[in-house]
Amino acid sequence: GLMDRKLELLLKGNAFCNMVESFNADLRKRYGLKKNEIEVLFFLGCCSECNTPSKVASMTQMTRGHVSQAIDTLLDRNLITGVQDERDRRSVHYFVTDEAKVIVRELERSHDKMEERLFEGITSEERETLERIILKLSSNMEEIMKEM
């Protein structure tokens, strides 16, 4: 029915991505960072254990190539540092520098504002229900993908 179509459009539509992008636009301009660079920087700043290019790529839905390009730029600008894995010499872990933590904090504030606006008029109970539903949908999608 129509409800299903609305869910599908919401999930695959660009509305959310466009909204995130517009919330980040000022910061991108101010720091001269591209969309992918700011996304990688934000991700590394927020999720310190997911700090290898492959983990960043899988968590952000970016290609390995785009992640690598962003990492190169962020390294050149001293916004991140790379540390070789002690067990696997081929693997490098990336961390934001003190200089970049300022940008990450601004991004977090921007995302908090966006989330606040997004959840306007939605009760905490409704939000908890939505989170439970999203977890179930996500789990169902993983199961479907395994069967294919």
- Give the whole-number percent of the chain exceeding pLDDT 90: 56
The average pLDDT across 35-56 equals: 88
CA distances from 41 to 45, 57, 69, 107 (A): 6, 12, 12, 10
Residues 52-92 pLDDT 10s:
898 888 888 789 999 999 999 999 999 999 998 888 888 89
Q: How far is CA 114 from CA 6, 34, 53, 98, in A?
A: 21, 20, 27, 25
Structure confidence by residue, pLDDT tens digits, 79-89: 999 998 888 88
For residue 8, pLDDT beyond 80: no
Phi, psi values for residue 37, rounded to 5°:
-65, -45
